[in-house]
Structure 1
Amino acid sequence: MTSPDVVDDLEAEQDQIEALLSKLSPADWVAPSAAAGWSVADVVLHLAQTEEAVTLAVSGAPLEWAVFGDSVDSAMEAMVRSQPAPPAEVFERWRTARRASVAALRAADPQAPVRWVAAAFKPRTLATTRLAEHWAHALDVATPLGLDYPDTMRLRHIAWLGHSTLPYAFRLAGEPAPEVFAELTAPDGSVWRFGDPAAASSITGSAGAFCRVGARRLAPADSGLRTQGPYAETALHLLRNYA
Structure 2
Amino acid sequence: MASTESKADVVRSLSADLAEEQQSLRRVLASITEAEWSRPTPAKNWTIQDQIAHLAHFDFVTRLAISQPERFIDVRGTMTDLQTYVDHIGPANLARTSEDMRRWWAQESEKLHEAISAADPNVRVPWFGPAMSLPSKITARIMETWAHGQDVRDALEVIAEPSPRLPHVARIGALTFPNSFTARGLDVPDQPVRVVLDTPDGHEWTAGPEDAEDVVSGPIEDFCVVVTQRRHIADTSLQTVGATAAQWMEIAQAFAGPAGEGRRPGQFARRDPLPAEDCDQARP
Please report the TM-score for the alignment, with normalisation by the length of structure 1: 0.91
> Percentage identity across aligned positions?
27
Q: For 1:1-243, list aligned pairs within 5 A.
A: 5-59=13-67, 60=69, 61-63=71-73, 64-65=75-76, 67=78, 69-70=80-81, 72-84=82-94, 85-172=96-183, 173-177=185-189, 178-243=191-256
Question: Could you tell which deviates more after superposition, 123-132 or 30-39?
Answer: 30-39
What's the CA shift string for 1:2-31, capped at 9, x where partnerless? x99222211110111111111111121122
Q: Could you say what the CA RMSD is over the residues aligned between the two structures, in angstroms?
A: 1.9
Whether the 8 Å CA contact 2:193–2:244 is kept in 1: the answer is yes
Q: Secondary structure of the residue that 1:50 maps to in structure 2?
A: helix
The letter for the 2-side match of 1:220 is: I
Check whether the contact 2:49–2:90 (CA below 8 A) recurs between aligned residues: no
Question: How far has the Cα of 1:205 moved from its partner?
Answer: 0.5
> Partners of 1:42 and 1:69 in 2: how far apart?
21
After superposition, give the CA deviation of every residue in 1:99-119 in whole Å (9 maximum; x if it has no partner): 111221233222221011222
Long gaps (5+) in structure 1: none
- Tell whether the 8 Å contact from 2:125 to 2:132 is kept in structure 1 after alignment: yes
Aligned residues, how many? 240
TM-score by length of 2: 0.79
4+ aligned runs moved over 6 Å, structure 1: none
Structure 2 residues without counterparts, runs of 5 or longer: 1-9, 257-284
Deviation string 1:132-170 (CA, Å, 9 cap, x unpaired) is: 111111111111212233212210000010001112323
Hey, what's the Cα distance between the residues in 1 that align with 2:80 and 2:253? Answer: 22
Distance 1:148 1:221 in 2: 20
Post-superposition CA distance 1:166-188 (Å, at most 9, x none)? 12323334213431110001122
User: In the alignment, is the contact (CA less than 8 A) between 1:213 and 1:220 conserved in 2?
Assistant: yes
